Structure 1
Amino acid sequence: MKSNFLTYFFLLGAFLIFQVQALHAQKKPLKSMSKDELMDKVKGGWAGQTIGVTFGGPTEFRYRGTFIQDYENLAWYDGYIKSTMTHNPSLFDDIYMDLTFVEVMDRLGVDAPVDSFANAFANASYGLWHANQAARYNILTGIKAPESGHWKNNPHADDIDYQIEADFAGLMNPGMPNSASTISDKIGHIMNYGDGWYGGVYVGAMYTLAYVNKDIHFIVNEALKTIPAQSDFYKCIADVIKWHKQYPNNWKQTWFEIQQKWAEEVGCPEGVHAPYNIDAKINAAYIVLGLLYGNGDFTKTLEISTRAGQDSDCNPSSAAGILGTMVGYSQIPAYWKMGLAEAEDINFKYTETSLNRVYQISFKHALEMIQKNGGKVSANAVEIPVQKPVAVRYEKSFEGVYPIKKVGVNRQLKDKYDFEFEGTGFVLVGVARKPSKEATDVDIPLEVYVDGKKIASTIMPTNYLKRKDEVFWIYDLPKGKHKASIVKKETPEGYYVDLTYNLIYSDEPNVGIENHVH
């Protein structure tokens, strides 16, 4: 009897200990921070972005498949930021795109429905490109998010677009990468999918961790835990981390390793069979290249992430934004803040928001998200519920899809265009034209036939903001020989579609060399 009582008592005690341990494990550690420090980091993130994009602007996509040599001087001077915002305001697309989503939240709250964000950017007055433009077209023609970003509806799904727009999601979630991922799931799938979406998730996670850590190497590594390990995006960034350890004093060697393994483009029609690469993962690799080899030094970080080439304004913008969040506005070197103050009250083009205003809005959103996730906000301080990163779900764009041929077309589609191909699909690239700049914009109607069957009706708007940059695409036809026809329906005189080239896809890659029998 006594033995049974002791056994029961022991088991009860063990159970209670287990329950206490489980509750302790579920409780998020709280990190205290003064409101002044929090604001300093919010400002550092937005200021860093602005500095980075200004610094890298002149070299954007001028260096494709090569890095910028050391003898190439990169300008920086007092007044540069204000001059750029005044005379080249469209350079800041990766910031005013962020601000579109920030302004929606400011009006409708942080839990605003996805359609509010999608409609705001689809109907904005600024020009878009790549995944953003394809998503805009989709939304305006009735394909809603998240289908608007899916790779079968958006051939740019793996492009950099959400990666350069995700800063806001990280900045409003200090220490809370999973909370940022939730926002990125909703907004990032408007325009991207798979690796293209992961770029934004990863960048957002680095911002969140930069609030609560002072080690940039830890931030880069820890943020990667938000990405599924089986994805190419994860493998690419993991490789950069590995190569940095292997070549700790030679960023160019790591750049060559990145180029050798990860520079091949599959999706973006502009980058297939070309040195142009706007793919999210390789440009994220250049962000990480700058952060790791910069090792917390603002100048080195900016130089390396810019000199890596390709999207060399957006990459240093993200890198400097993350680093600015880590060190805070007050600790950004004075050299890099030259002329910043005189630009902080200038509204970014297409917005009603300046840096000074977004500092306040993001700070307000950060306080709200801290409370929403179980943290505390008092008169002068916050207690941040620091989250351990959890991987988002796995998804992959262009799975089993390989570009095998690029065929020049270079003709005007006035009535009908027929072509034959062998494979599993194609992307026909072209744009709608009108007789003159003054002519009324119209939507040119088309019908698409494959193997004698009508498979789609579509429109090609001549309006630049609403344009469609690819006439039609399909990736999942039965493998074999096919005949396709693009038929232009009744349209006013002088309107046509300018066809440029055709990408042919199959379910396996080319071996690289064609065998010719003589």
Structure 2
Amino acid sequence: MKKRANLMPICMVALMSGCTATNPSGGHDLPTEKTLSTDVLQDKIKGGWAGQTIGVTYGGPTEFKYNGTFIQDYQPIPWYDGYLKKTMEETPGLYDDIYMDLTFVDVFERLGLDAPVDSFAHAFAHAEYSLWHANQAARYNILNGMKAPESGHWLNNPHADDIDYQIEADFAGLMSPGMPNAASAISDKIGHIMNYGDGWYGGVYVGAMYALAFVSDDINFVVHEALKTIPVESNYYKCMADVIKWHDQYPDDWKQTWFEIQRNWSEDIGCPKGTFSAFNIDATINSAYVLLGLLYGGGDFAKTLDIATRAGQDSDCNPATAAGILGTMIGYDQIPDQWKLGLAEAEDLDFKYTTMSLNKVYETGYKHALEMIKRNGGTVSDTEVTIAVQQPEPVRLEKAFENLYPTERIEWGKNLAAGEHTFEFEGTGIVIGGNAVKRQNDLPHAVLEATLFVDGQEVETAKFPTDFVTRRLELFWKYQLPKGKHSVKIVVKDHSQGYELRATDYLIYSDTPHKH
């Protein structure tokens, strides 16, 4: 792999020469520097964190309840005074995209801006909160001795293209005002703990949009400019470019663009839970819904929030991202009062599993932003900051699950008792679903063990905790097999009574799509 970027001043020669970037939509250029009062900078950072919190709260009741369809206009979504605090206290697990952010903010606060990747990986892997998809697969990898970036690589993480880092990347942009490349460098380090390829690009793009929202109040411009951080050859770039194109084509009809997204970009080939299913937690399509909200919202906070939510799928995280970016652009004070109802009452509440509240992250995030501004060629005084604005540069090209196409899901539904279990399949890859469970709640947690053989060759011996927090998401997987028939053997080690290793199904891949 190429050497990853570090948090050092970027493109200083270009900045000193006064270079500008042309807006592909024909608008203004990105400045080479931007001066903000410290009050405005603080207000924007507060707006980003508050917007994210408002968005995830608003979309919480609809999360993954509308898959492959949008939420009709007549469907009410609750919002009232006190709702924010009530939700934070009664449904703390809803805020996973925020307490994951805060985990990383806390590491920067404790260890400084040069904190090593292992510190971030250790912090979230050993946290008490539950995780899912790419995050949980990475947590398992780290707890079992694998390091980043291997922990997020698609060969080691079947969820590498999922949304996880996209919903956690807010902090990278909020601590990098006007510096999208610095945000990308942070995302390179932390985002590869759990994601790769298009899954990683979701976080890179989000971080860049946040960063540019500090220096432009034109949402169309920010969307275009931030996309320059993504390689044009990637599917992620192509999807975002399509959304921008469809917005130009249907400027007053977000639902028509939603249908185009669904028709062209709704296939999920990576996530084993999303293939052959309306459920789609892929970063690419959910980023498209974020753009849908931002573009059709046109700078209107309520409209942005509502459209990003009503697009469906991950409909709490998507409005959280959209509202966070817009909140950064307009600032905390300009978020309409309707959406800040009860916010002041909640701002001193620590998010569960953390020792950090909104008020604390407002302060800590501001401190980190000042450090990043100075580190990347800007200046800071008691009353104002001057940011050396960075012209967005593309990160490296990565592609996960290349030449893999899901062709069939076979229901297995079997308790894998101690001993050997075999079957055959035809294709180039396989993911075997299942989990370890205890039959009675009063039993202590245990760790089961099994070994996978493919075509007589040992692939892996894996451990399967019954503890939900440390669980392995799938039993086994193996990609990049030669095309043809393959034999699978799973050897389960003897374990105590009261525990089961359950196999649910297996997903088969080939090197070409299934033909009807």
1:146-199 CA deviation, whole Å, 9 max, x = no partner?
000000000000000000000000000000000000000000000000000000
1:156-305 to 2 correspondence within 5 Å?
A: 156-305=159-308
Q: What secondary structure sits across from 1:491 in the alignment? A: coil
Matched, 1:423 2:427: yes
Structure 1's unaligned 5+ residue stretches are 1-19, 514-518
Q: Which whole-Å CA distance do the structure 2 matches of 1:346 and 1:111 have between them?
A: 29
Partner of 2:379: 376
- In 1, the alpha carbon distance for the partners of 2:47 and 2:459 equals 51
Query: Equivalent residue of 1:336, what SS?
Result: helix
Counterparts of residues 111-510 of structure 1 (less than 5 Å): 111-415=114-418, 416-510=420-514
CA contact (8 A) 2:18 2:32 kept: no
Q: Quick one: distance in 2 between partners of 1:86 and 1:121?
A: 22
2:23 aligned residue: none
Q: Distance in 1 between matches of 2:278 and 2:114?
A: 40
Question: For structure 2, which runs of at least 5 residues remain unmatched after alignment?
Answer: 1-12, 21-30
Q: 1:17-56 CA distances to partner (integer Å, 9 max, x unpaired)?
A: xxx9995257982211100000000000000000000000
1:87 pairs with one of 86, 90, 95: 90
Task: State the partner residue of 1:14.
Answer: none
Deviation at 1:430, TM superposition (A): 0.3
> Pick from 54, 57, 61: which aligns with 1:58?
61
Q: 1:240 to 1:26 in 2, by over 3 A?
A: closer
Q: What is the CA–CA distance in structure 2 between the aligned matches of 1:387 and 1:198, rounded to whole Å? A: 18
Deviates more, 1:27-36 or 1:205-214: 27-36
Q: How does 1:6-25 map to 2 (within 5 A)?
A: 24-25=17-18
> Which AA in structure 1 matches 2:505?
Y
Residue identity in the other structure for 1:176: M
Alpha-carbon deviations, 1:293-329, whole Å to 9, x = none? Answer: 0000001101100000000000000000000000000
Partners of 1:488 and 1:124 in 2: CA distance: 29
| Structure 2 CA distance for aligned equivalents of residues 195 and 22 of structure 1 | 29
Letter in 2 for 1:75: P
% identity of equivalent residues = 64
Matched to 1:222, the amino acid is E
Distance 2:366 2:76 in 1: 36
SS in 1 for 2:366: helix
Instruction: Give the number of aligned pairs.
Output: 493
SS of 1:419 mapped into structure 2: strand
Per the TM alignment, residue 231 of structure 1 is displaced from its structure 2 partner at its CA by: 0.2
| Distance in 2 (alpha carbons) for counterparts of 1:486 and 1:440 | 25
Whole-Å separation in 2 of the counterparts to 1:29 and 1:203 = 21
- Opposite residue 304 of structure 1, the aligned amino acid is I
Range moving further from structure 2, 433-442 or 471-480: 433-442
CA pair 22-247 structure 1, distance change in 2 beyond 3 A: closer
Deviation at 1:417, TM superposition (A): 2.2
Q: Secondary structure at the match of 1:335?
A: helix
Q: 1:21 to 1:162 in 2, by over 3 A?
A: closer
